[in-house]
Amino acid sequence: MKSVIRKYAKLIVKVGANIRKDDDVLIISSLEGAPLAQAITEFCYKSKAKRVTVSYTDDKVSRLHFLYQDTDTLTDIPSWESDMKNSYNDKHAVTIRILSENPHVFDGVDPKKIAARSRATHKALKEYYDNAMSNKIRWTLCAVPSEEWAKTVFPDLSPSKAVAALWNLIIKAMRLDCKDSVKAWQDFQNASLVRINKLNSLKLTKLHYKNSIGTDFTIGLPEGAYFSGAKENTTYGAPFCANMPTEEIFTLPDKNSGNGKIVASMPLVHNGTVIEDFYLELKDGKITDFNAKKGYETLKNIIETDEGSHRLGEIALVQYDSPIQNLKTLFYNTLFDENASCHFAIGEAYPLIYGAENMSKEELEKLGVNFSGEHVDFMVGTPDLEITGTSIDGSETPIFRNGNFCF
């Protein structure tokens, strides 16, 4: 595993975060991610980073906070917590997050407490989140297994064998089984750029989704919207890859344009709670009805966070025949599951509009950009998903057929 960890760390530093001379780096890691955090720290310094700060999180301690603290305490975010992240905004600093989420860590916890804490955190860290969403800072997410996560994915295996099995899947998803994983990622990014350029050349104004599980949904794109993915650029010209792994090509919707029904094709794990068998109905961009057979209260709390969480903020295209989908595994982790399936996000939009960096919030809102304290991805891709695009001249182009890109 030592060689895998070092190869993983090099990939995160070189491709994910793109660490450069004099960078300030913040690594936020689960306890299970400590070996990877240590290796990433070393590679950051070898890449001439000026300073690397490592902060550890513990899901089990977080659960105890929710069980024993009252809501007033949970929502009182200490200034040192917000100051640490917000201070990175002015330094072109980089955040690397190592996840090892237990999908059931908050089972039995009052979902209203979790939602209240999430809202308070986003409010306290608004400056940081706004800059991350608008690519003013570099950030990247990656993951390593925990026993609890691995046992959720592989319930019939012993803890040690489950962890080994999940590591094996992460190795494949991250292209760490390639001789040169950095080059493999760069080749993938270049191939994605060809498809992104094709989508942008179509000058799409809306997309229509339809499949056999009940999705029949049309959503528009704002004027000036463009597709991105695989490799993004900061406003100061530094490339980075926000999600590792990633297979998506994404843009933003016009927040006022969604009409129809969207049926989720996979469970969603949000803040340690699993939401299953759910759907959303929208009219003129606003969620007017929803339901879930499991996790209804959590879904309700997501949607009722604020005005923007009643609308969508992301359109992401991922073909069904993709490396992560072909692993035939439900990861119970959005970082992986969203990259096995086309998805939308409830809430905040990435402002992927030409010239957005020179626009005010009010100008972006007029174009249809959604703002919210939430950004929650949920999966809609199926083997029979059809997506048809309409261009500015009224012509229609098949984008997806049988779950895959048509080009």
Report pLDDT for 88: 77
pLDDT in single tens digits along all 407 residues of the chain: 999 999 999 999 999 999 999 999 999 999 999 999 999 999 999 999 999 999 999 999 999 999 999 999 999 999 988 888 888 776 778 999 999 989 999 999 999 999 999 999 999 998 899 899 889 999 999 999 999 999 999 999 999 999 999 999 999 999 999 999 999 999 999 999 999 999 999 999 999 999 999 999 999 999 999 999 999 999 889 999 999 999 999 999 999 999 999 999 999 999 888 999 999 999 999 999 999 999 999 999 999 999 999 999 999 999 999 899 999 999 999 999 999 999 999 999 999 999 998 999 999 999 999 999 999 999 999 999 999 999 999 999 999 999 999 99
As a dihedral over the C-alpha atoms of residue 188, residue 190, residue 195, residue 196, rounded to 10 degrees, the angle is 110
CATH 3.40.1830.10 placement within the chain: 2-173
Report pLDDT for 90: 66
Q: 3-state DSSP call for residue 14?
A: helix
What are the beta bridge partners of residue 274?
Answer: 269
* Amino acid of residue 131: N
Would you state the CATH architecture of domain 2-173? 3-Layer(aba) Sandwich (3.40)
Helix or strand (DSSP H, E) at 40: helix 34-46
DSSP readout, 189-207? HHHHHHHHHHHHHT-EEEE
Cis amide bond preceding 245, omega within 30: yes
